[in-house]
Amino acid sequence: MTTKTKVDPVSIEVVGNYLVSAVREMNSTLRRTAYSTILRESMDSSTALFDPQGQMIGQADHVPSHQGSLAKAARMVAEDIPLDPEDIVILNHPYEGGTHHPDIMIFKPVFHDGHLVAISAALGHHIDVGGRSPGSISSDARDVFEEGLMIPPMKLYRKGVVVPEILRMIEANIRVPEKTLGDIRAEISAVTIGERRYLELVERYGREELAEIVAGVLDYSEDLMREDLAKLPNGSYSAEGFLDSDGIDDRPVRIFVTVTLKDGDVVVDFEGTDPQVKGPFNCSDSSVYSAVYAGIRYMTNPIIRQNEGCFRPIEIVRPEGTVVKPRKPAPISGRFTTLERIADTIVLALNQARGDDQVGSSLACVCSFAANGTYPNSERRFVCFEIFGGGWGGTMRGDGLDASFGLMANSYDTPIEAVELEYPLRVESYNMITDSGGPGSNRGGLGFYRHTRYLHGEGYYTNRSETSKFPPKGVLGGKPGAPSKQRLVRATGKTDELPSKITNLSIYGGDLIWMAQPGGGGYGNPLDREPARVLDDLLDEKISPEAARDIYGVVVEGGAVDAAATEARRAELRTAA
């Protein structure tokens, strides 16, 4: 822990808010200048500012998994790389600070009068970085070399001068360089805006005074974190969660966590987690950190400003050679599903410390799919990559969020019209799924369909999904949410049921990529749900008439609840249970 300096509370608010607004501006710059749909429409990107030691000092409401990851990588950049003014550092190497291959990080040191005052950082998910499958998210890679181009930390710009050979090297190894090189420029825009904004702050306060205030901003977040964590009863709480498979061997992968709380300090221990797996569902260092930071952060007040101070109360223990601390060159590109599972498992473990204030399991995955091919009447090639979510768990306070990204993500969908303008694809359904939310007195959120027709020619389809065998759990009598389902409906009408992970399946014009995203787990006994809310769900087709009658025990006649019949039906169902 750092020695606390006494900084006036006004400056903490002023500078803390400024940093948030600067980082938000960085990410909006990235979006506005980006080229690929995954960045400009979905905003699968994050930005942050760091102090010269690599401590995260500001970030905004973007992808949680990126934020912890950037924090880990920035520290490495700060410690290991001698930085000069106007340098720009690039990296994606998963064993040297990166998360997985498609996430390219860009760092720009911020100098004032020859002194390093901050590091401005951006992370963007790129549509393709080479490797064995278009989109670079193969679900069955055997090692990191199959997964795409790896860039160890290196200077893309030296003192303001670009090193063109690096860009040529990247260009030669990826499938759609015109998108990716443009997106790297967008990341450079973002870090340049971050540099400008931080220098304005230095001008205003002076270097040394600002450093003191920033230290105070971090300490303040740390204090609030500890205060919230100390409200939970001391003790050790364990839970397990499973991935459907590792993408190669068809057997579940176990995540086991023990969270120990002591007066505001937290230790998260992964003893009991499975050994590293063959397929790409191992987690790089920075990914594990991000999952733990986020899982614990969900136990505290959302208004706390997210920065290094939020990480300080947390210690992480990982046995060597496990899914959460694999040895190089274990493959890692599917790590997002694992870290969603880690965050969800931490939430489930801490449910035991929360009395009635528990939370149903969320979708716990980011489903992504990639497809490639050529445009009609052209040799031009495309790679499409999209990400999806599902429903959240019900809580003591209300129903889980319908159709959202998981705990570790926050992006946008790609609009149907953006998909169809950009690619020879057609999205035929994007609606929520009746009965997919886990029943409960507070229901789990609904999952949704996303059915995409592959219109032309031929190519490969890769899917990295989850939650098909282990549907999101309910709590305190709540029922599980609906699992995910994946199918391929061939142009001939033949339907193939697919596992949740599939790599480079040949697809042809007219085939339909059929996906059902999972719902969240329910909270509390569905027989306790107010009949009026059951009726609302029924009228909105969020539940079926069968579910209303047989799971919620609500009898509806002529568009209204029959109170007496409902009471009888509920008594009957309670006895049967």
Partner 1 sequence: MYYLGVDTGGTFTDFVALNAESGEITTFKVPSVPEDPARAVLVGVERLRDRHGVEPSEIGRFIFGTTVATNSVLELKGAKTALVATKGTRDVIEIQRLWRSHLFDLYIQKPPPLVPRRWRFEADERIGSQGEVVTPLTDEEAERVARLVVDGDFEAVAICGLFSFLNSSHEETLRDAILAAKPDALVSISSAVSPEFREFERATTTVMNAYVMPRIDRLANRLETLLGEIGCASQLRIIQSNGGLMNVATTRSHPVRTLLSGPAGGVVGAVGVAKAAGFDDIIAMDMGGTSLDICLARGGEVTLSTEGQVGAYPVQVPQVNVHTIGAGGGSLARVIRGALKVGPESAGAIPGPVCYGKGGTEPTSTDAAVTLGYIDPGYFVGGEMSLDVAGAKRAVETHVGEPLGMDAAEAALAIVRVQVANMVTGIRSVSVEKGWDPREFALLPFGGAGSLYAGLIAEDLGITDIFVPIQPGVLSALGMLLTDIKYTDVVTRLMDTDTASAEAFEEIYAGLEAKLQVELSGEGMDAGAIRFDRTCDMRYRGQAYEINVPLPDTSPEKLVDAMADAFHAMHRSMYGQAAEGDPVEFVNYRVTGVGVIKKPDLKPLGDMAAGESAEKGTRQAYFPGIGWAETPRYERSALRPGAKIEGPALVEEAGATVVLFPGHALTVDGFGNMAIKVQGRRSERSAQ
Site for partner 1 in 25-54 (CB under 8 A): 25, 28-29, 31-37, 40-41
Q: Which is nearer to partner 1, 229 or 330 (CB)?
A: 229
Q: Which is nearer to partner 1, 11 or 504 (CB)?
A: 11
CB 404, min distance to partner 1, A: 5
Q: Quick check: 384 and 37 in contact, CB under 8 A? A: yes
Q: Which amino acid, 358?
A: Q
Q: Which stretch binds partner 1 (CB under 8 A): 233-241, 295-303, 377-385, 467-475?
A: 295-303
Sorted by sequence, the CB contacts under 8 Å of residue 243 that are 6+ apart come out as 252, 253, 255, 281, 337, 338, 341, 466, 470
C-alpha 466/C-alpha 418 separation (Å) is 26
Q: Verify cis geometry, omega within 30 degrees of 0, for the bond prior to 52.
A: no
Q: Quickly list H helices, 352-487.
A: 416-422
CB 321, min distance to partner 1, A: 31
b/e code 516-547 from CB counts within 10 Å (16+ = b): bbbbbbbbbbbbebebeebbebbeeebbeeeb
Q: Quick check: 310 and 293 in contact, CB under 8 A? A: yes
Out of 165, 320, 356, 421, name the contact with partner 1 by CB under 8 A.
421
x/- mask, partner 1, residues 245-284, rule CB under 8 A, reads: ----------------------------------------
What φ, ψ does residue 32 adopt, rounded to 5°?
Answer: -70, -25
Strand 235-243: give its sheet, edge to edge: 235-243, 253-262, 265-269, 314-317
238 alpha-carbon distance from chain centroid: 23
Residues between 192 and 251 with contacts to partner 1, criterion CB under 8 A: 192-193, 196-197, 200, 204-205, 209, 220, 223-224, 227
Q: Which is nearer to partner 1, 159 or 576 (CB)?
A: 159
Q: Which is nearer to partner 1, 276 or 441 (CB)?
A: 441
Q: Which is nearer to partner 1, 430 or 508 (CB)?
A: 430
Residues between 144 and 203 with contacts to partner 1, criterion CB under 8 A: 178-179, 182, 185, 188-189, 192-193, 196-197, 200
Q: Which stretch binds partner 1 (CB under 8 A): 77-85, 139-147, 423-431, 501-509?
A: 423-431
Residues between 379 and 408 with contacts to partner 1, criterion CB under 8 A: 388-389, 392-393, 395, 397-398, 401-405
Q: Quickly list H helices, 103-176.
A: 164-172
User: Considering the rule CB under 8 A, would residue 378 count as an interface residue with partner 1?
Assistant: no
Beta bridge partners of 260: 236, 267
Residues between 446 and 485 with contacts to partner 1, criterion CB under 8 A: 448, 451
CB 60, min distance to partner 1, A: 9
CB 507, min distance to partner 1, A: 20
CB 469, min distance to partner 1, A: 24
Q: Which is nearer to partner 1, 66 or 101 (CB)?
A: 66
DSSP 403-431: SB--TT----PPPHHHHHHHSSEEEEE--
Q: How many residues bind partner 1 (CB under 8 A)?
A: 86
CB 274, min distance to partner 1, A: 27
Out of 17, 234, 378, 495, name the contact with partner 1 by CB under 8 A.
17
Q: Quick check: 176 and 422 in contact, CB under 8 A? A: no
Beta bridge partners of 442: 523
Q: Quick check: 472 and 519 in contact, CB under 8 A? A: yes
Q: Which is nearer to partner 1, 276 or 465 (CB)?
A: 465
Out of 1, 3, 10, 356, name the contact with partner 1 by CB under 8 A.
10
Out of 74, 151, 367, 432, name the contact with partner 1 by CB under 8 A.
432
